[in-house]
Amino acid sequence: MISFINEAATNRGWEIEKLLTTHPYLTKYSKGDIFFYSDGIVNIPINSQSEIIANNKVLTTTILENENIPCIPTKEINIANKDSLYEDFQHFSFNNSNTVVIKPINGQKSEGVYSFNRFEELLKEINKLPKGRPYCISTYYPHKYEIRLILFKKEVQFYYMKPNNEQNILRPLVTKEIPIEKDKLEHLMCISRKAASVLGYDYVSIDFLVGEENEKIIEVNLKPNLYAFIRQFPSNYKKCVTLYEKIFDYKEALLLTK
C-alpha cells in the first residue's frame, strides 16, 4: 500500500529518507534546517505525561474516571499472588456474575487478551502468560459494536466502526454496516474531545464500546492504525492524506518554535 503519510509529507514540501541501515521502519523527514524521525509524527504531545499515559491502560482509565468520563474501569493485577488475584476476580466479575477480561497493560493490536467466566479457568491459563509483564483486569462490557474516533488538536477528524478482528475474541462480529444515530455520534464526539483534552493529546484515536443504552471508552491510542481503516474503506485514503498534511504543518510549527 502506498504510504499516505509520505504522500502528505511530499505535498507539504518535506524530504523523505528511509533509514534502513539503522532501523527498518525509521524514516527521517526534513524541511530546510528542521527535521524529525518517523516516531515524531505519531506522537505530538502537548503534555510531558502523554507518552507515559499512553503506554499504561490502568493510568489512562484512572485519569478518565477522575474526570467522570465514561470508560472501562481497569486495575493492575499480580498474577503470582493467588489470594489477591481471587479478590480482584470476585470484584470485577461481580461475584461470578460477569465475564472478566485480562490483558497486558501495554498491549497493542488485541494481543494477549483473555476472557474468563470462572476463577478456575483463570488459574488454569494464568501460568501460560509471559512472566515479568504487567497485566490488568476489567469487567467485560456487552456492546453492539466498537467505534474509533480520530482527533487532531481536540477536534474529531473522522470516525469509523472497528473492523472484525479474529485476534480480538471480545469484538462482536459485524457483518453489515450499523447506522449510528446523529445524537449518539454527537455525544461520542463530545466525550472524545473532553478525553483528549484531559489526557493532553494533540493526535489520538479514542475507541468506544457502544452498548444498548450507554457507551464507554475502551482504549486511547497515540498510534492509530489508519492503514487498517483504509483497507476497510479505501475511498477514505485522501481523507487520511489531508489529516497528515495538517499534522506535518503543525509539526513544522512546533519545530520552528523550539
**Structure confidence at residue 38 (pLDDT):** 77
Q: What SS3 state is found at 255? A: helix
**Structure confidence at residue 23 (pLDDT):** 66
**Structure confidence at residue 9 (pLDDT):** 93
Q: What SS3 state is found at 37? A: strand
Q: Give the model confidence (pLDDT) of 139-155 as tens digits.
A: 998 888 889 999 998 89
**Structure confidence at residue 24 (pLDDT):** 63
Kindly tell me the burial class for residue 199, based on how many C-beta atoms sit within 10 Å of its own C-beta (0-12, 13-18, 19 or more). Answer: buried
Q: Which cell numbers hold the place of 47?
A: 503534555
**Structure confidence at residue 51 (pLDDT):** 64
Question: Do the beta carbons of residue 255 and residue 29 sit within 8 Å?
Answer: no
Q: Which residues pair with 135 in a beta bridge?
A: 77, 104
Q: What is the mean pLDDT of the chain?
A: 84
Q: Provide φ and ψ at 198, rounded to 5°.
A: -65, -40
Q: Provide φ and ψ at 19, rounded to 5°.
A: -100, 65
Is a pLDDT exceeding 80 seen at residue 50?
no
What is the pLDDT confidence band of residue 48, given thresholds at 50, 70 and 90? low
User: Pseudo-torsion of CA 148, 246, 55, 74, nearest 10°?
Assistant: -30
Q: Give the model confidence (pLDDT) of 151-170 as tens digits.
A: 998 899 998 887 655 555 56
Question: Do the beta carbons of residue 137 and residue 100 sit within 8 Å?
Answer: yes
Mean predicted confidence (pLDDT) in 20-49: 70
**Structure confidence at residue 89 (pLDDT):** 93
Is a pLDDT exceeding 90 seen at residue 84?
yes
Lowest-confidence segment of 128-137, 143-152, 161-170, 197-206 by average pLDDT: 161-170
Taking residue 220's Cβ as centre, other Cβ atoms within 10 Å add up to: 23
Q: Which residues pair with 158 in a beta bridge?
A: 150
